[in-house]
Structure 1
Amino acid sequence: METVVGNLCSPFLLSQLGNSRPCLLKLRTSAASRVFKCCFAAAIKVRAAASVAVVEVEPTEPIVVQNDGISSNNILACPICYDPFSSSGDPGLSVESASGSSFQCGTCKKTYFGNETHIDLTTASGTKDYGESMPVTTEIFRTPLVSYLYERGWRQSFTVWGGFPGPEKEFELTKDFLKPVLGGGNIIDASCGSGMFSRLFAKSGLFSLVVALDYSENMLKECYGFIQQEENFPKENMILVRADISRLPFATGSVDAVHAGAAIHCWPSPSTAVAEISRVLRPGGVFVASTYILDGPFSLIPFLRNITQRTKQISGGQVFTSESELEDICQACGLVGFTKVRNRLFVMISATKPT
C-alpha cells in the first residue's frame, strides 16, 4: 500500500520549499501609503475545463488593504531579525538589479548578496564551512536535472495524475481569488519552482512587484533563463529571491498577496510556513495555494493515516487526506474566510488576513 501512495505522491512534489527598527532602504518607491478597496464577487466562475467546479463566495464588506509606512516595493527584510534592509548597489528591485546588489540588516549587521540570477536571503547564506540539508521533498528540487525537467513535462503530468487544470486555467482561478487585492500591489510567488506562475503574474500587469521565491538555486536559475528567452518581458517588475518558506525575508505586514502553486505538500512544516505567510501579509492580504487531497475513494484505503504519516517521515512532505486539514492550518495561523475549489484530487484554497 505504501508503494501505491508513493507513486501517487511523486509527481506532485515541489520545492519548498519583535520590535522593528527603522533602517534606510535605498529603493525606488511609490507613495508610502496606499489604500485598495475591493469587494468579493458574489460568485467566482471558474473558466476552466468543464470538469472544474464553480466555487461560490458569499458577498462581504469591502476589504481595505492599508500600507502604513512600507511601500509596495519596500518589503525585503532580514530573515534573522525581520528588520527592513539598507541597500547598496542598484537602487531598484528588478531581475537585472540582483547581480552586485547587497542588503544589510540594521540590527544584526549581516549583509546578504545577490548573484547573476537571484538574491540569497536564507539565514545560512554566506557561511563557508556549514552546510544544511533539507528533507527529500526539498532537496530533490535543488538538483539540476529535476529543475530542468520541471517545466518540460514534470508539471504537466499533474493534470493526468490529479486533475490540475493546467497553468493558464490555474492562473485564472488564482486571479479570481486575488480580486480583493488586485490593483498594483505586490505578490510573493512562494515555492515558485521555475517561475511558471511568477512570469504570468509579471506579464499580467496586475502587480507592481512580483517576487519569485524558492529554496532551490537551480530552480531560480531556470526561472532566470526562461525570463531571458522572452521578448519584452517586464523585468523591472520582478525579482528572484532564494529563501526558506519557514523564514520569509519580508517585513511584517508588507505583502498584499502570497501564491503557492502545488507546493504546500512539500513544505517540511506547512503550519510554520503558513504562520510566516500570515505574518508578512497586510490586513486584508490574500493567501492562495493549490495542492492535492487523497480523499474520496482513497479514504477507503486501510490504515491510510498510518501510511501518510509514514510517507511524511520518509519524504519530509505532507499528504493531505481532507479539506478540513487545510482549513485548520489557515485558521490556526490567523487567516479567515477559507474558500476552495476542487477537481478530482486537485484543490485550490484561499484565506485572508483579518482587517
Structure 2
Amino acid sequence: MPSKKVIILGASGSIGRQTLECIEKANVHEPGIYEVVGVSVHDNHESLMALKSRYPKAALALSGCTQAPKASGIGFIGKSAIRDLLQATEAHLVVNGIMGSAGLEASYHALVTGKNLALANKESVVMGYSLLETLAVDRGIAIIPVDSEHAALYQLVQRIGSPSIQEICITASGGPFREWTAERMEGISPDEAARHPVWKMGRKISIDSATLANKGLELIEAARLFHFPEERIRILIHPQSVVHAMVRTRDGALFAHMSLPDMRLPIEIALSWPIEAPSLFPSLDLVDKNLSFFNPDTEKFPLLGLARRALRLGEAGTIAYNAADEVAVHAFEGGRIGFLTIARIVEDVLERDWSFPLLGLDSIFEYDAEARRIAEKAVMEREK
C-alpha cells in the first residue's frame, strides 16, 4: 500500500509538532504508512533545519522571511511560500496548524490545489467557511476538523446523522479563572492568562481560553461546519475536559464523545481519514472519574455572548469578532490594556455595521483590515 503523503503547515507550532509525533509513531507501528512531503514554518529557521534533518525528502517553506542562507535547501521563501509549496507538492492531505487569520489563505490554497484539508486553524472557518466549503464540494475533497470539540462532533454527526439531531453541545474547561471574581480578574497578567489548566497549547490560544473567546470561536465553527443554528448550540463548562461534545437527538437521548484531553487523538483521526485506524495513544478509563458540568457565567465572560451576536451579524460579523480579538489580545500581551478590556474592545468593534456580503478572499481581508483598524482605535482610547 503506498504511503499517504502529508504536508504540515505550521510544523514548528503545537499542532505541527504533535502531528509529526503521530506520524512517527504510526510509521513505527506500520512502516511507511505516512510520508511527510512538505513542511512550513513562519520564521523559525532553526526549527526548519531540524525538520530538514528528520525529513530530508520534504519540501521546505519559510513564509515569514524574505531570504534564507544559501545552500539551506529551503525551496519556498516569503509571502507566497505556502501557496508555492502547495502548488508544487503532491499530497493526499494538508494539516493546517497555522495560528491566527494567516491560516485562512493557506486553507484556501490547499483546497484550490485539490488536497484534503485537516483543519486546526479556527480562523479559516470563522472568517471564510462558505468560500472554503464551496471549493471542497466543487473538487470532491474533504475538510476534516482537528479541534477536539469539532472532531468529536464530526464523529457523532457521522454516526447518528444530522436529521436526527436536535441540539449540539461543546464543552469548555472554563480556563484558569472560572472561579475568580470579576474584581480579581481585573489584575490578571498575560503570563497568568497563558497558563491553561488542562491543555498544552500556544500562548494566543491559551489566553483565548482564559477569556472564553476560544469557545466563542468554536461556537461559530460548530454553527458553520455543521450548518446548525446558534440557538441550538449549547456550551457547558466541564473542568475535567473528558467529554468534548454531545448531541441530543429528537427522541431526547444524549450522546457524548469522551476521550482523554490529548490533541494527538483528533490529529490521529484526521490523518487516517476516511479509515478508522486503531489509536496508538492511551484511551480513557472512566473508573474513579467524577465528571461535572455547569453553565458558563456569560456576564463574567462576555465573549461567549459576543460570539453569538457576531454569528447573527453574518460572515462579516464573525470576521470582525476574530480580528478584534486578535488585536485586543496583542494589546493585552503588550501591557496596553487589562484582561477584562479584551472583551470591551471586541464589543466596540461589533457595534459597527457589519452587514456586508462575502464576495471572495479579497473581501474577507478587506473586512478583516477594517475591523483591525477599528479595534486598534478602540485600544488607543482604552489604553491604561
TM over 0.5: no
* Structure with a larger share of its residues in helix: 2
Pair member with larger Rg: 2
> Taking structure 1 as the reference length, what is the TM-score of the superposition?
0.30
- Normalized per residue, the structure richer in strand is 1
